[in-house]
Amino acid sequence: MLAAQLRAAPGLEGLAEQMNCSARTLRRHLRELGCSYQELLDELRFEKAKQLLASGEWPIHRIADELGFSETASFRHAFVRWSGVNPSQFRP
């Protein structure tokens, strides 16, 4: 559900509402799975970023927008944190 909404991620409360449960319940279920909302969001964004970068079709600023980053620089910083390299270095 969250993967389909990366451009405008609903936040923990919004996602819980979409899933017809409370934010507390969703947080508990995620904790039982060993992750948090932010970790899940980052993982989904990273996987999608790798796919889009590998295709080579979109410029980096468009990928950043597609993943819900308000600034290209924020996406670049996040990608370096996730992978250890800049998005442009990741491209084939």
pTM for the full predicted model: 0.90
Q: How far is the C-alpha of 9 from the C-alpha of 67, rounded, in Å?
A: 9
Per-residue pLDDT averaged across 24-45, rounded?
96
Indicate the pLDDT class of residue 89, thresholds 50, 70 and 90: very high
Indicate the pLDDT class of residue 92, thresholds 50, 70 and 90: confident
Render pLDDT for 40-76 as a digit per residue (tens, 0 to 9): 999 999 999 999 999 989 999 999 999 999 999 999 9
Each domain of the chain, given as residue ranges in start order, spans 3-90
Average predicted confidence (pLDDT) for the chain? 95
Q: How far is the C-alpha of 13 from the C-alpha of 77, rounded, in Å?
A: 26
Fold of 3-90: Arc Repressor Mutant, subunit A (1.10.10)
Q: Is the distance from CB of 91 to CB of 51 less than 8 angstroms?
A: no
Q: What is the DSSP letter of 71?
A: S
